[in-house]
Each structure stands twice: as C-alpha cells, then as structure tokens.
Structure 1
Amino acid sequence: MKYLITGATGLIGNNTVRQLLAQGEQVRVLTRQKTPLVELDGLNVEICHGDIRDAASVQTAVRNVDCVIHAAAHVQVGWTQQKLHQQVNVEGTRNVAAAACGQKVRLVHISTINTLGLGSLANPANEETGQPGLVPCHYATSKADAEKVVQQFIDRGLDAVIVHPSFSLGPWDWKPSSGRMFLAVNRGTVVAPSGAYNVSDVRDVSAGIAAAAKLAPTGRRYILGGHNLSYLDAWRAFAQASGKVGPRFRLGPIARCVASVGTDLWTRYTGIEGGVNSASLGIGSQETCFSSQRAEKELGYRIRNLKETVTDAWNWFCEHGYVDHHRSHVGRAAASFLP
C-alpha cells in the first residue's frame, strides 16, 4: 500500500512513517518545510510540499495513495491561539477529509484521548464511557470539532477510522513534544500535579495506527494507550531514567490556584502564554485514564513495559543532544499535560 502521512515530523507522525517503512510500505509525506528535514533524513519517503490549510496542496498530495494518516495538528494547551487551533486542527482536517472522500481514499484520523473526556484511575474509561468535565482548552475543543468534521464525511461515504492516542513517549521526538515534560521532570522537581493520566509508548501507538489502517472497519474508534498512573508515580518513573528520585509531593489546590492566577496575569500583561497556565494546571488536577481493550482485541494492540519506554526515551534524548542542552529545547515551562 501507499500512504500519505501529514505531520510526519512530529512524534507520532515520525514514528508512524518509520513503522510503515519497516513493514515494507510506500510512504509519501506532506510537509511545509522546503529545507532538508532532519526528521526524515535517511528515510525512503516521497516528499510533497504543502500545507493542510491549503486545500489545493492537500488534493495534490492525496493523489494516487491508498490511505491517508492524518497526524498533523497544532498543540498548545492554554487560552490563547484559538484561531490557529481552528485553522489547523479543524479546517485542516476538513481539507484532508474532503480530499480523501473525493478520491475514495481511506483516512486514519489521529485525535487524542482528551476528546473522550475523563476516566478515573480506579475505573478507566473506554471509547464510549468517558465523563464530561475536562478543562476546555482550545486544543481539546478543536480536536473534538475535528472529529465531528470527520464524522460528517463518514456520513457522506468516507472510509475513515479515528484513533485516540494517550500521552506518548519514545524515540524520534525531535521537537520535542511530549518529551518536554519528560525532560523538565529530569531537570528536577519536587512537586507533581495531583491528577492521573495514561502514558503510552509511541512505538506501540504507531503500530496501532498501522493496524487500524489495515484492519479497522469504517467509523470505528480506538484508544491507543498504555499505563494509567498518577502524575506523581509517572514523574517518579521519568526521573529514575536519569538516576533522580523525582517529585515528593502533589500540587495542592491552594498552590494550584495561586499559580493559575499568577501565570494568567503574566499572560495578560506580557501577551506570552507559557506551558504552565490555568488550563494545563487544571488538566493536571484531573484524571484522564483509559482502557485500550478494544484495540488489543480487534487490532492486536500491545502495551510494553513502562520502564522500557522511559529508558528508551531517555537514551534517545541523550544520544541526540537534548540532555546537555535541553533547556534551550524545553524552554522555561514544564510543558502541557495533554498528549
């Protein structure tokens, strides 16, 4: 089969490219960058230049492929950049779905577990049982709107599947994305958010995406997750990769309230919103725990040991120079609490 992958320089997209190539598939990528891409260096891929916000370039990229894997998204957890989230996550998805539908090409739309709501550590949710109440930042709401767009095209005849990855760690996190949190924890912290979430290995997620492209019936949804953990336990596991102890305390409600007010005031007066703000702090106090049982049963999805995931992620960052100089990559904020 021949695949088009959007968002091929991101964590999930890049690992999916590598997963498909390892399976002997042909891969085309759609990218805005016209300079050599380190993320794709040495990979046997066809590069198509364009932007998912430009319908014409998307139509061109979709020609003569069998399946589109739509991984491109704008991810920023907070209360700013609403317009950009709308343009990329919603209208960009509309362009991709329209092209796939018009050319009768299968679509695997990569969403997020956060569109499914909340699931407790004691009782993880599945694709249908998530509870409402997740802090409605623009990223989460735009991804939910993007799913509605895909469903509208499914109703018109599009052959599409939606997958919901959780917070993913692993190699090939060039930007980095989820790795920002991982690196920040390994820099040292004594306090962790009070909530819980699901941590997956991006290699498991990319294998699940490839399986969904081949096996999933039209309209089916799959959670591609991993281990449900409190942030405290997860961050301690992250810290152990570099031989550190990790945080000792959970962030209490009073401290969270003070931090939320302070960071939002900073945004208001400077116009700059960091990764730590009232939205990310609020999400960090919630529980977003989910089960991947459907994907395990129907797609053969497998979840590897958390220690392997954390160790391999740490080794990749070390080998690629992110550890000695990661402050320049991470910035001042610890990163968001969304996948």
Structure 2
Amino acid sequence: MFKDAKFDEALKRKILLTGATGLVGSHILLDLLKQNATLVYALKREKSDLSALKNLFEWYDCYPLLENINWINGDLSSNTVSEVLPTEIDEIIHTAAVVSFNPDDYEVMNKVNINATKTLLNYASKSGVSKFGFISSIAALGRMDASGRYTENSEWVENDSNSYYSKTKYEAEKAVIAANNNGVNTYIVNPGVILGPCDWNKSSGTFFRTGAKGIAFYTKGQNGFVDVRDVSRGMLDVMKNGSSGERHILVGESVPYRKIFSDLCVQFGKKPPRIYSPKWLTELGWRLDKVKSKLKGVPPTLTEETARNANGIFEYDNAKITSRGFEFTPITQSIEDSVPFFKQYYF
C-alpha cells in the first residue's frame, strides 16, 4: 500500500531538543537525525551562531542532515518560551545550560539552568510528554571537600566547595526528580568533563585551545572525563533502557589534569606541562587574574572555583551503566580523535 511522506512523518517519534548548538546537544542532534524514525525539533536563540554546528556535521560527513532539522526560535531565559514550542511532542531532551565557574554569571545560570528546566518540565506535564531526558553534571553530586569518590547515591552536602554552577545543576535535578514523582518519566545523566569537537572558545572546548597554545604549569588535581560521543549514546541509552527518576554517571575515566594537558600538548606538537603549581600559587593566580579581568573588562580565565577544583582529587563510579554493557571511549583516544577537528577549523 502506498504511503505518502506526510503519513510517514506522522508516524515518527517527535523529539524536542534544547541546546542543539552546544557541545552535547549538537552530537545528540546528529545521532537523532541518523534515526529515520525520529522527527527532531531543535530550540535555538533567533541569532544563534550555527557555524560550529555546521563544522561538526561537515566533520562527520553528515552535512546534508542539517536540512532535516526543524528549528524553533526561542530564548530559554524567557518565561514565555513555552509559547513557541510544538503542541505535540513525544520526548524532550534538555541539554541547554550555562556552564561557568565565574560567580558573576550566577544570575544567568539561575535563569537557564534552573528556571528554564522548570518551564520545560511544566510544559512536558501539560503536553503529555512521555519521556524527559536531562543532561546534568557530576557537579550536581556536590563536593564533600577537596577530594572524594562519588556514585549516583552521593548526597549533596552544602559547603564552600560547591560552585555556583553545581548549585544550579543540583537545584535543576531536584525539579526533574520531583516531576518524575508527579507523572513525567524523567531520565538524568551526570557527565564528567566532556571532551570532543566543538567551539574551542566555550566550555570544555577551552581545554583544546589551551593545549594548542601550550601550558607549562600543572597541578596535582584529578577529575572525571568523558567523550562527548559517549554522552550522546549514554543519554539515548538511558532513555531507552534506564530507570526513570534516577541518576546515571557518565564518566569514562578519572584522570589527572596533568595527563589530560600532556596528551593535548603532545597532539598539538607542544611541550607538555612540566612545572608543578602548588596550591598557594593557584590561589595567587586566580586573584591576579581577577584583577586583570576587571582592568580589561573581560571574563577571568582562572577563578576561585576553577583554582580549587584544579587541586582536588575526584573519582567517579560508572558501574551503574557499564554493568549493562555500556562501554566508554578511552580518554586518550577521545583526544586523538578530536584534535584533528580543531586543527582543521581553528588553525
């Protein structure tokens, strides 16, 4: 029996994706568009720069798939964003967030990371959305002190070690879990520091920019890292096979920062970091950088929060998802796969 294109489209699973131009969102967008059974609505600001997204699709040899995106112009920081959303959506994947360790950005983080999440959850409840996927962060697990090992059951402890960013992601998580208890099936993933092709002027893309310039100093800190492709696969896997209302840590490896920057520098042909920066020096560094940023009127490169994290030893247990057979990409491989992208588009 003959079926026209409109009939086929009506049968497709309709997914609303936020943050589609960002690091995680762009990779989830790509993976969704590869599935012929999905119809993707991607939310973006009206004047969003799509150059990084276009570079990404070109890099993965999927440029024609850009034509299959149903763009929706809307601002998540606005209370009226729900007015522009489609009336019939099956699932939502919420990746949009402001990632910053600058206390001056707390107000915008509060609007986007917390309030926008609540707005989307309210829309999901009223619209009968069947599943709500939320990209959280290991930061939402809280910081016990300058070190620690974390699982999905780690309890938030209020203290000065928690960044403003972590507080907003934790508050957003609470709203997501509450929505699950009130009838919306919600799925939470907590990625570590995400590495992969993106705009190297934003978020963790700055790791690659730093490696390309070279860095002489290192700290003894350690954190959880994950390949962006694993975050995309992990989010889709959890929404399909995971338990609703629960966290799922997405960390491939807990790696020393020195190892990360050494690998990056080597891949970019620079000398690896070789001078140890003790805690007192990083403390001095963020204070000096704060003064410099005020004088120049630009955001600081090093903040009190990033200096503190640079010296912490953090480990994360990924057994919950790996016990189901999920495999992570080695971080060294992630760096090797990503550096050629930055060489092509940023040199």
Fold equivalence (TM over 0.5): yes
Equivalent residue letter for 1:151: I
- Distance in 2 (alpha carbons) for counterparts of 1:124 and 1:75: 22
- Contact 1:62/1:100 (8 A) holds in 2: no
Q: 2:85 is paired with a residue of what secondary structure?
A: helix
Within the candidate set 71, 76, 86, 2:110 is matched to: 86
- Distance in 2 (alpha carbons) for counterparts of 1:150 and 1:103: 16
Q: Please state if 1:316 is matched with 2:341.
A: yes
- Distance in 2 (alpha carbons) for counterparts of 1:36 and 1:191: 33
Match of 2:3 in 1: none
- Contact 2:142/2:166 (8 A) holds in 1: no
Match of 1:139 in 2: 165
User: What is the CA deviation profile of residues 181-237 of structure 1, one whole-angstrom value per residue up to 9, with x for unaligned ones?
Assistant: 222123111112321011111001101111122222220210111111111112111
Cα offset for 1:57?
A: 3.0
CA gap of 1:190–1:175, structure 2 versus 1, over 3 A, is closer
Cα offset for 1:297?
A: 2.3
- Distance in 1 (alpha carbons) for counterparts of 2:236 and 2:106: 31
Q: Please state if 1:26 is matched with 2:39.
A: yes
CA gap of 1:285–1:115, structure 2 versus 1, over 3 A, is same
Q: Please state if 1:15 is matched with 2:39.
A: no
Q: 1:282 is paired with a residue of what secondary structure?
A: helix
CA gap of 1:271–1:35, structure 2 versus 1, over 3 A, is closer
Q: Please state if 1:95 is matched with 2:107.
A: no
Match of 2:142 in 1: 117
Unmatched segments (≥5 aa) in structure 1: 325-339
User: What is the CA deviation profile of residues 305-325 of structure 1, one whole-angstrom value per residue up to 9, with x for unaligned ones?
Assistant: 2232101110111122x1x2x
Structure with higher RCO (Cα < 8 A, 6+ apart)? 1
Within the candidate set 305, 317, 321, 2:330 is matched to: 305
Match of 1:153 in 2: 179
CA gap of 1:158–1:99, structure 2 versus 1, over 3 A, is same
Match of 1:334 in 2: none
Equivalent residue letter for 1:264: K
- Contact 2:146/2:312 (8 A) holds in 1: no
- Contact 1:117/1:131 (8 A) holds in 2: yes
Matches within 5 A, 1:1-339: 1-24=13-36, 25-34=38-47, 37-38=50-51, 39=53, 42=64, 43=66, 44-105=68-129, 106-118=131-143, 124-129=149-154, 132=157, 135-173=161-199, 176-266=202-292, 272-298=298-324, 300-320=325-345, 322=346, 324=347
Cα offset for 1:154?
A: 2.0
Cα offset for 1:33?
A: 2.6
- Distance in 1 (alpha carbons) for counterparts of 2:176 and 2:85: 18
- Distance in 1 (alpha carbons) for counterparts of 2:44 and 2:77: 12
- Whichever of the two has the greater Rg, that structure is 2
Alignment size in residue pairs:
321
What RMSD in Å do the two structures reach over aligned CA positions?
2.5
Cα offset for 1:82?
A: 1.6
- Contact 1:2/1:67 (8 A) holds in 2: yes
- Distance in 1 (alpha carbons) for counterparts of 2:135 and 2:253: 19
Q: 2:254 is paired with a residue of what secondary structure?
A: strand
- Distance in 2 (alpha carbons) for counterparts of 1:314 and 1:98: 40
- Distance in 2 (alpha carbons) for counterparts of 1:115 and 1:130: 10
Unmatched segments (≥5 aa) in structure 2: 1-12, 55-62
- Percent identity for Structure 1 against Structure 2: 26
CA gap of 1:273–1:187, structure 2 versus 1, over 3 A, is same
- Contact 2:211/2:268 (8 A) holds in 1: no
Equivalent residue letter for 1:13: G
Equivalent residue letter for 1:107: F
User: What is the CA deviation profile of residues 92-129 of structure 1, one whole-angstrom value per residue up to 9, with x for unaligned ones?
Assistant: 11111111121121111111001113489997421113
- Distance in 1 (alpha carbons) for counterparts of 2:132 and 2:204: 24
TM-score for both structures, normalised by structure 1: 0.86
CA gap of 1:227–1:239, structure 2 versus 1, over 3 A, is same
29-38 or 277-286, larger mean C-alpha shift: 29-38
- Contact 2:143/2:162 (8 A) holds in 1: no
CA gap of 1:208–1:104, structure 2 versus 1, over 3 A, is same
